[in-house]
Amino acid sequence: MSHANFLPSNRTVSNSHLPHARLIAALKNLSPDGDALMQLIALVDTVRPENADNTLLAHARFTTLCETVETDATVRHNLRTCLLGLFAGRKQVSFFADSGILPNSGFFSELWRRMVQRVFPAITDPNYLRDGINLIFHRRDDHVWLDGLPTDVKLRFWQALQMTEVRNDPALLESLAQMLDATDVLAARIGAMGLEPELIRLYPRIEERGSPFLALAVETHQLSAAYRAYLAGGEVPTEDEGQLQVLIEQCREVLVRVRARAAAVGTSLTLTYLIRRLDQSLRRLEIIIRMLSMRHQLDDTVSNDLPLVELWVEFLGQAIHGEGMRQGIRAHVASTIGLLALRVTDNASRAGEHYITTTRSEYFAMWRSAMWAGFVVGFMALLKVYSSKPDLAPLGYALAYAMNYSLGFMFIHVMHWTLATKQPAMTASTIAGVIGEIRGRMKDVEKLATLVTDLIRSQIAAILGNVLVAIPTAMLLAFIISQITGQPIMNAEKAHHMLRDLSPVDGLALLYAAMAGVCLFIGGLISGYYDNLAAYERIRERIEHTRWLRRLLGEARLARFARYMDDNLGALAGNFFLGIMLASASTIGVLTGLPVDVRHVTLSSAQFGLAVVSLNFAVEWIMVGKVLAGIALIGFLNLTVSFSLALWVALRARGVGFSQSGALVSMLFTRLRTNFRNFFWPQNGTSSKP
């Protein structure tokens, strides 16, 4: 821990230097004949800081505890006796084999258990050491101040107890026997998990040759049997943990290959959960075996037990930290979906590369694809107006709007056209990928600045292409229909209401634009998720082996269809669900009475065109100005909210940060001053895409 954490504030200095009367009294009152569990609970209550983040106070109290144990032989003896009494007669296998390790119930079952635990806490059984430890550290944030204690202070405490004096105590020998039982339990679980179909599917070589997981189980059982014989009075085991350590490393290598394979062909929550549980079990088995082996290598004359104490402190830290986090819902979700989130954002990253233009040909292609998308959105806005005319229930309106939006967005994708607001959720992952490669080198920041410049230029082209075509298309459609039918497509009241809804000062347009940005971000995640699903479930192969599709389409068409679905399932699903989210927002607002709705920049632009024509262009210029400003702000919020959320998730999934943001902003402003044109017009040259 950094020494900066121990720089005192005025309040904590005074608290940390006060005589720790309660702590000293609790130590003096320890009795070998008392209830060990209750005495230790009372003792930890005197050490625990009122605020778990106050590591300074925890350090001061723990130091006082160490000093007292070191200087007072009676206190040392009584505390050591209490600790041995805590272990004596209690079932300890679950503490050594399960504390801090995920159960085999699965991700969602464990999530549900933690949610229920928050409302109805589980019953504890003091006959189990694991529950006894949880009763001693009964606050959910106890692991915070314990983790904040420096390792040397923890080592000082256990060395002050002079446990070598009681190394052959019956309670301690019984604990060693139960640790051996725990190694057998862990080894059996590891062997079973190593043969799970989810694991074999991604690494079939486990079946082709001897599984290191099964070999690990066999070796562990042999080693534990030798140690049991030694505890029963036999000879010192001739075997050591060397071969077992080799097998543990081989198991870890398999997990590394499985993770790499999952990054290439997709992953699932089940696989991610299994990998985490396997990794935790391997670490636990390794540390217990090392402790047992080191303990057996020490004879009665050896007093330097520091390496063993270090292992014990490491184990206790892992166990108590894991138990403290065992009730955390957010930590469980965040840690388990990390690999899945990385896979999802990696899919988005590959899609995002297509939305960044570097050459003039790519730039003009972006304009063309965006203009075609704007043309389609003009029709979508018109269909929404007509969908609102029948007398339907709220759910009926939501379904009609959803089909309009979803099918329209999917049609735009199928035709390879570009909807500007779909870009940020994809391009943010590309930016995050580049940030993950930066290691403080300015040339890499320069490369990132070029990529951001290209991104801004591409985004401007896409959004202007959408808006500048959506408005006249909608106006033309409204004019043609009004000429044919002899009446506007909507009455004046609805047209004025539509204009007010787009004004940033007359309604909640900006709030709704931010909500649309959230929907766009979620749509990007859905796209990545289904791309991952297509790879993981081998959609292409499954379609190609579907008999009724082969009879219907023929061999050649089926192959093309399977390839298309494999490449585009994510984008189609993302667009489909995006349409549902955008269409359902207003219905949710109506049903709940909450200010819930969305404003999408391209659709809003088309609605502006429809409203103006419906009013026969009799709109005040101030209202036109407010609406145009509203459309610009709606577009800005759509893009920035979705981009910010997508970038945050992508960076978290990769576990990287970015400390050169100041240098990046400075470079962008310098480029803006010196080469403003480059933000709107491409220069032919080397591509900046990663």
Interatomic CA distance for residues 24 and 61, integer angstroms:
10
Q: Which ranges of the chain have pLDDT less than 70?
A: 1-20, 106-107, 208-209, 234-240, 263, 296-306, 325-354, 425-426, 428-429, 432-444, 652-663, 684-690
Block residue for tokens 């801004």? 456
State the DSSP code for 440. Answer: S
Q: What is the pLDDT of residues 345-368, one digit of tens each?
A: 655 555 555 677 788 888 899 999
- The CA–CA distances, whole Å, from 571 to 39, 364, 577 equal 61, 23, 10
598 lies in some domain: yes
CATH code at 572? 1.20.1080
CA pair distance 149, 142, nearest whole angstrom: 11
The angle that helices 242-265 and 212-231 make with each other, rounded to 10 degrees, is: 150
Cα Rg, the chain, nearest whole Å: 33
- The reply to whether 292 falls in a domain is no
Q: Which residues have a Cβ under 8 Å from the Cβ of 296 and sit 6 or more positions away?
A: 227, 230, 236, 237
Task: Note whether 277 and 251 are within 8 A (CB).
Answer: no
The answer to whether position 441 is within a domain reads yes
pLDDT at 443: 59
Element (H, E) at 232: none
The answer to whether 597 and 519 have CB atoms below 8 angstroms apart is no
Domain count, the chain: 1
Q: Is residue 143 part of a domain?
A: no
- Residue 290 is predicted with a pLDDT of 87
Does residue 215 sit within a domain?
no
- Alpha carbon 286 to chain centroid distance? 27
> Looking at residue 337, what is its pLDDT?
59
Supply the pLDDT for residue 269.
73
pLDDT value, residue 9: 38
Burial of 108 per CB tally in 10 Å (0-12, 13-18, 19+): exposed
Q: Which domain holds residue 603?
A: 355-679
Alpha-carbon span 608 to 507, nearest angstrom: 15
- Report pLDDT for 7: 33
pLDDT of residue 229: 81
pLDDT, residue 361, reads 87
pLDDT score at 301: 42
Q: Does residue 240 lie in a domain region?
A: no
Does residue 196 lie within any of the structural domains? no
Cβ atoms of 675 and 454 closer than 8 Å: no
Predicted local confidence at residue 630, as pLDDT: 94
Which residue in 620, 624, 640, 647 sits closest to 510, CA to CA? Answer: 640
Give the tokens for residue 155: 């080592």
Residue 555 falls inside a structural domain: yes
Q: Which token pair is 624?
A: 């036109």
Question: Would you state the pLDDT for residue 383?
Answer: 95
CB 309 within 8 A of CB 155: yes
Look at the alpha carbons of 321, 326, 331, 333 in this order and tell me if their dihedral is positive or negative.
positive
d(CA 489, CA 470): 17
